[in-house]
């Protein structure tokens, strides 16, 4: 029932957004800002100034291109999240254009992934279960998801066989899937 309610609520939000109702952006902010800003911070290595800029640009894009969102292709939040993630990754790439991407690995892992965590009761149970995701699995997923690296690039950066990278990502996501399905 909860899922159905969320779905209908999201549907209404999409309708408002696509009709050009700016309060829809306000609602999206209220619902998702912490998750989206957290992703920006993670991608931009806790650089708050850049994370704010990236987040702001992403929200403008979400507003501007709302009409191109197709509910048949997945949830609104997935679309929003991917726009935000791609915008932040672009920011990071532009900033690092001249420096070696080598910094990625150390930087992305220096910051504790759960350093700034919202004490959300919904995710408290998840935290324990997340221990099931090995650090190797988390590393490769983070490099893909937050640094925008492909299998091939991760393999080169971590000096791991391509097959190992693929397996770790796949296994990691399978574990995450169980964790989040259980919740």
Partner 1 sequence: MNIKEYIASGILEAYVSGAASDQERREVECLSSVYPEIQAELNLLEDTMIGFANEYQAPPPPGLKDKIMASIGDEAQVPALKTVTDHSDEEVTDEDLNMDSSAVKRTNRDPSNFPWRIAASILLIVSCGLLYFLITLEDDYESEIESQRTNITTLQDKLDNLSHELANQQDQLAILSSPSILKIPLAAANEEEQGNALVFWDASDQNVYLDPSQLPSVDDDQQYQLWALKDNQPIDLGTVLKGDIGFQQMKKATEADAFAITLEPLGGSEQPTLEQLKVIGKI
Contact footprint for partner 1 (CB under 8 A) = 20, 22, 25-26, 29, 33-35, 37-39, 41-42, 48, 52, 55-56, 59-60, 63-68, 72-75, 77-78, 81, 85, 113-114, 116-118, 120, 123, 126, 130, 140-141, 144-145, 148-152, 154, 165-166, 169-170, 173-174, 176-177, 179-181, 183
Nearer to partner 1, 95 or 162 (CB): 162
Nearer to partner 1, 8 or 120 (CB): 120
Nearer to partner 1, 100 or 122 (CB): 122
Quote the least distance from Cβ 97 to partner 1, whole Å: 20
Quote the least distance from Cβ 132 to partner 1, whole Å: 13
> Which residues, in sequence order, are CB contacts of 66 under 8 Å at separation 6+?
17, 18, 24
Nearer to partner 1, 3 or 98 (CB): 3
Quote the least distance from Cβ 106 to partner 1, whole Å: 18
Nearer to partner 1, 13 or 165 (CB): 165
> How far apart (Å, rounded) are the C-alpha atoms in residues 98 and 95?
8
Compute φ and ψ for 44, nearest 5 degrees.
-95, 25
Degrees to nearest 5, angle at CA 89 with 84 and 92: 130
């Amino acid at each position: 029932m909860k899922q159905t309610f969320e779905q209908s609520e999201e549907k209404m939000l999409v309708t408002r957004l696509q009709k050009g109702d700016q309060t829809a952006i306000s609602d999206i902010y209220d619902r998702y800002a912490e998750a989206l800003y957290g992703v920006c911070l993670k991608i931009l290595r806790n650089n708050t100034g850049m994370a704010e800029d990236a987040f702001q640009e992403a929200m403008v894009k979400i507003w501007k291109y709302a009409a191109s969102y197709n509910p048949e292709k997945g949830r609104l939040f997935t679309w929003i999240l991917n726009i935000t993630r791609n915008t932040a990754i672009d920011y990071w790439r532009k900033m690092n254009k001249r420096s070696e991407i080598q910094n990625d690995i150390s930087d992305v892992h220096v910051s504790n992934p759960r350093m700034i965590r919202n004490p959300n009761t919904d995710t408290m149970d998840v935290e324990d279960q997340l221990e099931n995701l090995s650090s190797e699995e988390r590393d490769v997923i983070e490099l893909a998801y937050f640094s925008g690296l492909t299998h091939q690039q991760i393999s080169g950066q971590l000096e791991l066989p391509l097959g190992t990278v693929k397996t770790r990502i796949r296994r990691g996501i399978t574990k995450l899937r169980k964790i989040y399905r259980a919740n």
